Amino acid sequence: MRRMSQDAEEKVADLTPMLDVVFIMLIFFIVTATFIKETGVEVNRPDTETAQPKKTVSLLVGVAPDGNIWIDKKKVDLRYVRPTMERLHAENPKGGLVIIADSESKVEKVLAVMEAARNLGIAQVAIASEEK
For 23, the domain range is 2-32
> Does residue 58 share a domain with residue 14?
no
CA distance 62 to 75: 9
Burial category of 72 from C-beta neighbours within 10 Å (exposed 0-12, middle 13-18, buried 19 and up): middle
Number of domains into which the chain is organized? 2
The model's pTM is 0.62
Strand-strand pairing, 57-63 and 69-71: antiparallel
**Triad 63, 122, 66: Cα angle to 5°:** 10
> Does residue 103 share a domain with residue 75?
yes
> Does residue 61 share a domain with residue 114?
yes
Beta partners for residue 99, in sequence order: 61, 127
Does 40 fall in a domain?
A: no
Sequential pLDDT tens for the chain (132 residues): 556 565 556 677 777 888 899 999 999 888 877 666 666 666 666 666 666 666 666 788 888 888 889 888 889 998 999 998 888 888 877 878 888 888 888 888 888 999 998 898 888 888 877 766
